[in-house]
Amino acid sequence: MYFHFVNSQILYRKVTYLLRNFEFSRISFLNNNDLLSLAKFECMQRKLIWSIVIACLLGISILTVIFVKSGPKEEIDAVGAIPSDVALVVQIKNIGNAADVLGSDIDFWDRFSKLEMIEQCRHFIYNIDSVLRNDERFVEFRKNELFFVVNKLGINKLDFVFILSSKEHLKANLVKGVVEKAFHISNASEYEYKEETVYVYDDSSTVRRSLAFAVCDGLLILGESKVSVEASIRCYKDGNSLKNDHNFEKIKPNQSRISARIFMNYNKLAEVFQLYASNDFKARISKFPQIANWSVLDIATSEKNIRANGLITLDSLETEKDYLHLFSGQSAKKGEILSVLPYTTSYFVSVHISNKELFLDNYKLYLQKNNYYKNYENTIRDLNESFVKSFYKLIDSELAFAMTPAYVGSNKYENAYAICKVSSASDAEALLQERVGTSSAFQSTMGNEYRIFTLVDTLSNIPQKLFGNLFYRVSGTYAAVVDSYIVFANSEMALTTFIIDKDKDQVLTKNDNFRDFNDKVKSSYSLYAYIYMPQAIDVVKDFFGSAVNSVIDACSDTLQAMNSVSFQLIADSDSQYYSDFLCSFEKTKSNKPTFSWCFPLDSLVIGKPSMFVTHRSEFVTLVQDESYRIYMIQNNKKENRVLWSAQLDGPIIGDIHPVDIMKNHKQQYLFNTAKSIYLYYVNGEKPLNFPITLDAPATADIAVFDYDKNKKYRIAVPCADSTIRLYSLENGLCSSLQWNAKAEGVVRNELVHAASEGMDYIVYSDRYHIYIVNRKGEERVSVSEIIERGHHSAMVFDQGADATLSRFVTTDVDGIVKEIYLDGTVKSIDEFGKRSEHHIFIAEDIDDDGNLDYLFADESKLVVYQQSGKKMFSYSASNIITSLRVKTVGEKKYICLLDEKNKMYVLKSNGSMEKGFPMEGQSNFDIGVGDGSTNSFDVVVGGEQKMLYYYTVK
């Protein structure tokens, strides 16, 4: 009988997938006449790490890509060769088109093929395909069925067996020829086992490299270990296999049209996971009783999603020992608790209970069956039985564990929450007040008042003690009643942040990315677990040991392409349990930039945070809070920290100016308050004579002049006594200089310096006059008319082709453009129209044509003109615009607006709104390249509850 494969792509793909999991050193394949060496693995353990990482983090996605739709076929009794103690079985109903799927252009498949394991797998298949492509004997084989079996072998090793079925007896010699030709191996040793011949190929150059196979009637059994091959033969011969397992009976393979299925043995999967779990989680797994018995997942794929769903069975003999028995008699319901979770929730598990009394009875029975009930009784006694009974009575139908990204520098579980729905919010608060006693009032920014309860040690870990290890990351030290929910948190800051988000309706169900994903899952559920992978990689890593985590780090970009992953348990009143797994590979467009991280300050942010790149190429932010403390924060999304902080005597006026006073390419930061001038090095130190105390309060931002570009800085400070102080800043010393600049009134705008044809021009203005002086403060240009300059109008120098065309450009209080030429003449430009006295004017070349463009913001409208008078575009904000500036990031220019409600707008140079804007903030904001990327920029802004927030726009 001939061993037929449909064009070589079939055996290629089939065996490749199999053999990718077998590590052969020194085995090579010929492809296009080139000798291709397989990557040599140090040991079986390393290969298994790859497999488990993919299985656990990518879930069923990697195990299920190898299938396409196929028609029904007669059942092949391959299950009779699968031992009953295996951990995982993947059934592929038709392997004929597996190679086509592996070679397809599906988006998610292309992304995951970047993983070394998958790329090598595809490579193996293509080599096998090159061997089989032209052999007609293998055509029929594409209709055959494959079982991929994973089991734990010994103490710390996984083993893989592949069972290929056929309708008729296979000829061992033909199979032997195919295997040897495909893998370029020979010199098999043979021995008889249970009247079947086992072929073994050993590579003596390594310690553990082998391949074994046997042919039993219509089955090809192929594995790395001859022990596993013998086990399959033994099951097939003796009848002690999954086929005769009464627990497997309900989900055994059938004649359905499903292309691929996964069968999971929960008991054995826990043992497998222990091999790769972190020490902390390994200890917890060892204490876990059985979750369920077997489950089957039917696989369906689309270009952007993988879905797997099916039946879960409990132990038919001791059902009460299984965790899922807690949901016996429960009915899946539509949950409401998601509408209270924070907008930035990255991970949650929500439990819905339709029959609370029955659930508690099942929980106690579950504890008794697993010998945990005595500990539970002691816990109840410690908490006070009366309190526990009252608490249970209040609990309504939903519980949830949720996490948002942690504050930088804190424990990653700082923002972990336990949320319990209650039947009466007032009774819940009264119970906490009676039992806890210690509380404080908190008023949110929306004006609502809450009580923050601080729980004493005897009441610590209430969620975990009452509802199990789902909540073991929540100490519950702080609690509050929010709407109809009791919320437990690890810190007061985390709890108040939760409250503020809820009050402002910044909740998860308003997150477009989650909402789009949530529309694809079941609306009714008993348990719903969700993880947003881009923000939860570090949480995932907590489950694994260092070896697996090194793989996760290497593949983090690919893993994040998964976007969102969920698992749902659906129970019905007849104690039937169904699971639904969904993995989305599409990065859904969000109406907000991606939240990166946040940082807690001592008080609320004031002014504008400013982003810089230091001389050490470090990305930092300088920010001040309302206690007038300034912080330098390192912008590193993994290890953010305060590099230094210092107390100032007031709010910073204007911008922070980077300088290099020592002329050694090391950056310092210069700025002023009303009372003083400050200078700080990047390490937080300052020169001895700083700060400089001003004789009169400053009325505007300092101006920093570097006349000859030699870093001999001059600092000009307008003061309330109508004078302008001038300082020399050289070699770390600041000294006062005499100059003759005068003004009739108070100067409230920063001074401006320009040079043209070897002459310096320094410009400043009071209410009615514009002054143009030289370096000594002596009048250089007499302005020919009185100009009442706009309160928020910039003074910009526009260099002409010669001195006669060069001019300063500003606007008066009516918004009329004024051009002041170097001979003192003034030209009024009326074609841009008039505006209110509160208008903002700046001039920048935003279209890079070499000419200044004029930007006007008045009330809530921005209008941009070319210098010729041609209107480029306009934009209407939601509220009155209070800040307008142009920021260059990399090679791109962005127009940044802030309105009176602290809503942020970032427009591209063509007037189109940048993705994700406008967005909310609680201060002015800055943008910059916070991670060195040229394809994105970061946004830093002050937020609620003393937080500094960072977002990324890509």
Q: What percent of the chain has pLDDT over 70?
A: 80
756 has which bridge partners? 759
Look at residue 785 and give its three-state secondary structure: coil
Question: Residue 931 has what pLDDT?
Answer: 55
Q: Is the pTM of this model over 0.75?
A: no
Question: Which of 356, 211, 372 has its CA nearest to residue 287?
Answer: 372
- Which of 119-128, 530-539, 608-617 shows the lowest per-residue confidence on average (mean pLDDT)? 119-128
Question: Residue 127 has what pLDDT?
Answer: 52
Whether residue 437 is predicted with pLDDT greater than 80 in this model: the reply is no
Question: Residue 647 has what pLDDT?
Answer: 95
Q: Distance of alpha carbon 548 from its chain centroid, rounded?
A: 19
Question: Residue 129 has what pLDDT?
Answer: 54
Nearby residues of 709 by Cβ (< 8 Å), 6 or more positions away: none
Q: Please write the tens of the pLDDT for every residue from 180-236.
A: 877 778 888 999 999 999 999 886 544 345 788 898 887 888 887 889 899 999 999
Task: Give the whole-angstrom CA distance, residue 881 versus residue 859.
Answer: 6
Task: Give the whole-angstrom CA distance, residue 263 versus residue 403.
Answer: 31
Whether residue 51 is predicted with pLDDT greater than 50 in this model: the reply is no
Task: Give the whole-angstrom CA distance, residue 96 versus residue 14.
Answer: 8
Planar angle of CA 319, 321, 324, nearest 5 degrees: 75
Compute the radius of gyration of the chain from its Cα atoms.
Answer: 35
Find the DSSP H helices in 148-238.
Answer: 172-183, 226-238
Question: Residue 465 has what pLDDT?
Answer: 85
Structure tokens at 152: 């734990």
Q: Are 420 and 463 in contact, with CB atoms under 8 Å apart? A: yes
Strands lying side by side in the sheet with 733-737: 703-705, 713-718, 724-730, 733-737
Q: Please write the tens of the pLDDT for every residue from 699-732.
A: 999 999 999 999 999 999 999 999 999 999 987 7
Q: What percent of the chain has pLDDT over 90?
A: 37
Whether residue 153 is predicted with pLDDT greater than 70 in this model: the reply is yes
Whether residue 10 is predicted with pLDDT greater than 70 in this model: the reply is no
Strands lying side by side in the sheet with 792-793: 792-793, 840-844, 853-858, 861-866, 871-876
Question: Residue 216 has what pLDDT?
Answer: 86
Q: Please write the tens of the pLDDT for every residue from 395-405.
A: 998 999 999 88
Whether residue 244 is predicted with pLDDT greater than 80 in this model: the reply is yes
Question: Residue 770 has what pLDDT?
Answer: 95
- Which of 117-131, 548-562, 753-767 shows the lowest per-residue confidence on average (mean pLDDT)? 117-131
Q: Please write the tens of the pLDDT for every residue from 818-851.
A: 999 999 999 999 999 999 999 999 999 999 999 9
Question: Residue 67 has what pLDDT?
Answer: 35
Q: Please write the tens of the pLDDT for every residue from 341-391.
A: 998 899 999 999 888 889 888 888 888 888 888 888 888 887 888 888 888
Give kind and range of the element (H or E) at residue 108.
Answer: helix 107-112
Whether residue 50 is predicted with pLDDT greater than 70 in this model: the reply is no
Whether residue 409 is predicted with pLDDT greater than 60 in this model: the reply is no
Mean pLDDT of all residues in 330-339: 90
Amino acid present at 372: Y
Task: Give the whole-angstrom CA distance, residue 245 versus residue 541.
Answer: 35
Cβ–Cβ contacts within 10 Å for residue 411, how many? 12
CA 786 to each of CA 419, 584, 593, 820, 829: distance values in angstroms, whole numbers, following the listed order: 66, 65, 47, 11, 16
Nearby residues of 544 by Cβ (< 8 Å), 6 or more positions away: 53, 56, 276, 277, 278, 281, 552
Question: Residue 49 has what pLDDT?
Answer: 38
Task: Give the whole-angstrom CA distance, residue 188 versus residue 323.
Answer: 48
Structure tokens at 199: 């072929």
Task: Give the whole-angstrom CA distance, residue 658 versus residue 678.
Answer: 12
Q: Please write the tens of the pLDDT for every residue from 671-705.
A: 999 999 999 999 999 988 899 999 999 999 999 99
442 has which bridge partners? 450
Question: Residue 900 has what pLDDT?
Answer: 95
Q: Please write the tens of the pLDDT for every residue from 629-643.
A: 999 998 765 566 788
Structure tokens at 789: 């300059």
Amino acid present at 143: K
Task: Give the whole-angstrom CA distance, residue 268 versus residue 131.
Answer: 37
Question: Residue 232 has what pLDDT?
Answer: 92
Amino acid present at 413: Y
Question: Which of 118, 73, 114, 115 has its CA nearest to residue 91?
Answer: 73
What is the band of 239 on the pLDDT scale with cuts at 50, 70, 90?
Answer: confident
Sign of the dihedral defined by the CA atoms of residues 272, 274, 275, 276, in that order: positive
Cβ–Cβ contacts within 10 Å for residue 827, how many? 11
Question: Which of 668, 717, 713, 711 has its CA nearest to residue 692?
Answer: 717
Cβ–Cβ contacts within 10 Å for residue 43, how many? 13
Cβ–Cβ contacts within 10 Å for residue 602, how many? 11
Task: Give the whole-angstrom CA distance, residue 223 versus residue 180.
Answer: 14
Question: Residue 624 has what pLDDT?
Answer: 96
What is the band of 288 on the pLDDT scale with cuts at 50, 70, 90?
Answer: low
Query: What is the tally of helices (H) and strands (E) in the chain?
Result: 20, 57
Question: Residue 640 has what pLDDT?
Answer: 67
Q: Are 528 and 566 in contact, with CB atoms under 8 Å apart? A: yes
Q: Are 429 and 452 in contact, with CB atoms under 8 Å apart? A: no
Look at residue 109 and give its three-state secondary structure: helix
Find the DSSP H helices in 239-372.
Answer: 266-274, 279-287, 356-369
Planar angle of CA 479, 419, 509, nearest 5 degrees: 125
Question: Which of 40, 206, 44 has its CA nearest to residue 547?
Answer: 44
Structure tokens at 260: 């691929």
Question: Residue 5 has what pLDDT?
Answer: 31
Mean pLDDT of the chain: 80
Task: Give the whole-angstrom CA distance, residue 680 versus residue 98.
Answer: 64
